Structure 1
Amino acid sequence: MDQHLKGWFTERLPVCPGEAFSMQVKEILLEKKSEYQDIKIFESTHFGRVLVLDGAIQCTERDEASYQEMITFLPLNAHPCPKKVLIVGGGDGGVAREVAKHPQVESIVQCEIDKEVIEACKKYIPSMGCGFDNPKHRLYIDEGTKFIECTKEKFDVIITDSSDPVVPEDDSEEGKKGPADTLYNADTYLKMKEKLEEGGILCFQGENMWQNQTLIAGMIKSSSQIFPVTKYAYTCTPTYPGGQIGFLLCSTNKDAKLEEPVTVWDDDTAISMGLKYYNADIHRASFVLPSFMKKFLREL
């Protein structure tokens, strides 16, 4: 399927068979192939600038806050003192931008495999690319699992902001393994746990509960063997498949109540911090699942 046809971009992914999502394009700003993936950035008519990797929409200026804020503040505000944070992936800079807003965070370490995504977002989507400019931030260009194996540092929170493990291959619904594939397995979860301080929290992108239950089941089964507490949450992002994306949160603390924020900001504080989506009520509500998903998780 031609993804750019007559002024429209169309997303069609193997993780969502039988579906397509189209967005009207005002201007294509960048098209290139890096060592790892295809990169496209365009100006849309209604969602601002859009980052696309390997044919999949990663973020748009209009609704990115619903994802970036939730993958950041769900784990950070469930931790009593998140001083040191590792971001794996997150090449658009949005998660780094949000982590830096948290007043308790003192150090942000980020490992991203594709420096060309970083440079593209700094140039064409500076509202997110600005995340790389914070003085608390240290950036390493490396493959995530390799960095985790080699680093001697430990962290209070690890956030894995990755693309899908499967990307399109021609018109095959099976697709092929993407750059983030190695982040979705038990061996990697164990290595991440070893890099967490006592009481540390891991949060990673958890796919869509309506469309990707096989992937979700694999992630939950693998992580549950390693962490005493795992919880599934979700957010609503209109330009993601199904309008929704999930998160899997794991804690090394067997008594952790991840669905109850330890840090709570009132509305005025949240607005002054520049938050558009996240608040304490949304934090709690994101763990409230529909009946079909509760049943699915019970049967794993």
Structure 2
Amino acid sequence: MDQNLNGWFTERSPMWPGQAFSLKVEKILHEKQSKFQHIQLFESANFGKVMVLDGAIQFTERDECSYQEMITFLALNSHPSPKKVLIVGGGDGGVAREVAKHPAVEKVVQCEIDSEVIEACKTYVPSLGCGFSNPKLTLYTGDGAEFLEKTDEKFDVIITDASDPVVADDDQGDKTKDGPAASLFKEDYYAKMKDKLADGGILSCQCESMWLHIKLITSLVKTSRAIYPVVEYAYTCTPSYPSGQIGFLLCSKNENTNFREPVTVWDLEAAEKLNLKYYNSDIHRAAFAMPSFMRRELDNIK
């Protein structure tokens, strides 16, 4: 497999220049070039099964809960009645798995561009791929931005679980190209999502790392504040992601939304009943507590 030397996979990317992250490979499970991207799945020594798309780690079994649960429940538990949810991306099935757990959710619609990713996770990572078997879910294969243009449905919550907009175009991670998710980081996509949100609707989008992508984050926050009355950046800790941290952009059409205080409160006991490994109401609130350097960046957006 690419970027594999003496039994180790090493992740390099122009999205995080000058650094790398390595995992010991025990067994290669699957490798294929789809129409959209290079797909790799392997069993690692300490992080369980790992999925890599175009050279970038998408999840490991060890820490995927910290991402899947947070991108889901920061939004769902900030909405008083999230009955109908749209997932854009999320081809590993993890977000669908989590959304379906919420007692208020009645219908889940998902649009993922790459059917090869879906099938690979169903086959090799049933702990995530099980998300596709939930009876609440209707699955479409295609481009998420195009789906939003064509659908007449309205959703209480839209979750965009996108891979990075830019990916490596060589084995050393020095050259770049747009990835399949590039369109999901553009201004017109956020405007399209607003049109498909019901009254009081909320969206949650993957929004990169504060340690690496401040310009991208602040640009998206600025763009979103021109569209939505309430916009917040939150983050979670995921050891296998670059710098060990990844963020989410949360937007609401309801000017009274307070993302920092969940309307649905789950203590540790409630979280355990839902088989949550990471999320609870305390960690929800903590996700919005920024380090000083990031607080200044967000406060200074004009």
TM-score, normalising length: structure 2: 0.98
Matched to 1:245, the amino acid is I
Distance 2:55 2:219 in 1: 24
Distance 2:42 2:219 in 1: 34
Aligned match of 1:265: 266
Structure 2 contact 111–147 (Cα < 8 Å) conserved: yes
Aligned match of 2:255: 254
Aligned match of 1:54: 54
Matched to 2:193, the amino acid is M
Partner SS state of residue 209, structure 2: coil
Cα deviation digits, residues 211-238 of structure 1 (max 9, x gap): 1112112211211111111000000000
Distance change in 2, residues 1:100/1:172 (3 Å):
closer
Matched to 1:38, the amino acid is H
Deviation at 1:172, TM superposition (A): 5.5
2:186 aligned with 1:185: yes
Q: How does 1:105-120 map to 2 (within 5 A)?
A: 105-120=105-120
Distance 1:134 1:270 in 2: 20
Distance 1:126 1:2 in 2: 24
- Pairwise CA RMSD of aligned residues? 1.1
Partner SS state of residue 78, structure 1: coil
Structure 2 contact 72–99 (Cα < 8 Å) conserved: yes
Distance 1:265 1:8 in 2: 39
Matched to 1:135, the amino acid is P
Q: Once the two structures are aligned, what percentage of the paired residues are identical?
A: 64
Deviation at 1:259, TM superposition (A): 1.1
Aligned match of 2:151: 151
Q: How many residues align?
A: 300
Aligned match of 1:206: 207
Distance 1:162 1:236 in 2: 17
Please list every run of at least 4 consecutive aligned residues from structure 1 whose deviation after the TM superposition is greater than 6 angstroms. none
Partner SS state of residue 248, structure 2: strand
Partner SS state of residue 51, structure 2: strand
Distance 1:30 1:139 in 2: 23
Residue ranges of structure 1 left out of the alignment (5+ in a row): none
Distance change in 2, residues 1:160/1:291 (3 Å):
same
Structure 2 contact 12–173 (Cα < 8 Å) conserved: no
Deviation at 1:267, TM superposition (A): 1.7
Aligned match of 1:14: 14
Aligned match of 2:289: 288
Partner SS state of residue 67, structure 2: helix
Distance 1:72 1:172 in 2: 30
Matched to 1:279, the amino acid is N
Distance change in 2, residues 1:84/1:219 (3 Å):
same
